[in-house]
Amino acid sequence: MIRKEIVVYSLRNLRKRKSRSFFTILSIFMGITAIFVFTSFGIGLYAYVEKTIGESATDKIIVQPKGAGATGLSETFVLTEDDLEAVEKSPGVYEATGIYIKPAEVRQKDIKKHAFLIAYDPKKPLVIETSNIEIEKGRALKKGDEGKVVLGYNYMIEDRIFPEAYELNDVIEVQGQKLRIVGFYSEVGSPQDDSNIYIISDFIDELYPDKNNSYSWIIARVDPERIEETILNIEKNLRKARDLEKGKEDFFVRSFEEMIESYLNILDIIIKFVILIALVSVVVSAINTSNTMTTSVLERTKEIGTMKAVGARNSDIFKIFLFESGFLGGLLEFALVLFSLR
């Protein structure tokens, strides 16, 4: 049992050494917080992949041109209508559609931002199915919606992209043209995806009149039971359409399930690296705490000797340091509870 005089004496010592006590608590707090933050970051990444690419993507195959540039930014390697026709004629393919992905300049008054614009055939919204997003407000695009646009979730929120939020039927300036907003997609959780702009593919040449508007992706709905065989059929037809030898393809064909596995493998590497950083942070804070407590004991040897000289027992001295460390730990736990509630 810790007596009252030990508690009073320990609190007085902690008050005298308040700077050291504060930094001790801070180092432990930062180490433990690092674990929580980095673990939450990893879990969030996994959840984002699962939410973005759901079960609706298991019967989809994507064709992309090989190239060094990011999707929508490089025009060195392109996919054409002939490529789309070759994919559609491949055994095992139920339907296929071409997707345009372009960088777009978006303006609100004098403020200019850049986002990705996605143009698709509203009769074959395979890219929307694959992304696993739904309409939050308004409606989806339909045939004949030239001059109309559906926006990502963040355009509805003040100060996310622009200072002023957009509403249905508002006009937004994209690539120098004023487009009418007919809908907003639900939140994905990724700032980039939630700032996407969607139009129908028939309107792409009007927004980008001076560009060679070729497809960025071709997405096909296939028989999920024959997905590997269908990929081989598509590759064969595309080689023939593009007059390429086997092994010299300037495109690649992958199932979305395979892409998910690639993303998850990358995530595993990221999470391991993140955990390593968290562990280093914990080790550093543990060393700092140990050093602080050791220093606290060593610099108080005269004080301990005086207490023993007037009759203090080893158990009493032990209780003093036990209470001090326990009190600091209690403050830390209280701080962590407040942090988790936020």
Same domain? 111 vs 203: yes
Domain region containing 112 = 56-249
Which residues lie across from 102 on neighbouring strands?
Answer: 117
Per-residue pLDDT at 123: 94
Cβ–Cβ < 8 Å for 185, 135: yes
**Phi-psi map region of 273: left, alpha, beta (phi>0 left; psi -120 to 50 alpha):** alpha
Q: Whole-angstrom Cα distance, residue 253 to residue 61?
A: 7
Same domain? 231 vs 320: no
Q: For the stretch 36-46, what's the b/e string if a residue is b when 16 or more beta carbons lie within 10 angstroms of its beta carbon? A: eebeeebeebe
Per-residue pLDDT at 263: 63
Same domain? 14 vs 96: no
| pLDDT tens-digit readout, 71-114 | 555 555 678 899 999 999 999 999 999 999 999 999 999 999 99
Q: Is 124 domain-assigned?
A: yes
As for how many domains the chain has, the answer is 2
Per-residue pLDDT at 290: 72
Low-confidence ranges of the chain (pLDDT < 70): 1-3, 18, 20-21, 24-25, 27-28, 31-32, 34-35, 41-57, 67-77, 257, 259-264, 267, 278, 281-282, 285-286, 288-289, 292-293, 328-329, 331-342
Same domain? 276 vs 245: no
Give the pair of three-digit tokens for residue 135. 């309409």
Q: Is 216 domain-assigned?
A: yes
Same domain? 9 vs 68: no
Give the pair of three-digit tokens for residue 281. 């942070």
Per-residue pLDDT at 183: 97
Same domain? 81 vs 209: yes
- Measured from the Cβ of residue 47, the count of other Cβ atoms closer than 10 Å reads 11
Q: Is 263 domain-assigned?
A: no
Biggest alpha carbon distance in the chain?
Answer: 98
Same domain? 162 vs 232: yes
Sequence-distant contacts of 39-44: CB under 8 A, at least 24 apart:
39/275, 39/278, 41/274, 42/267, 42/270, 42/271, 42/274, 42/275, 44/189
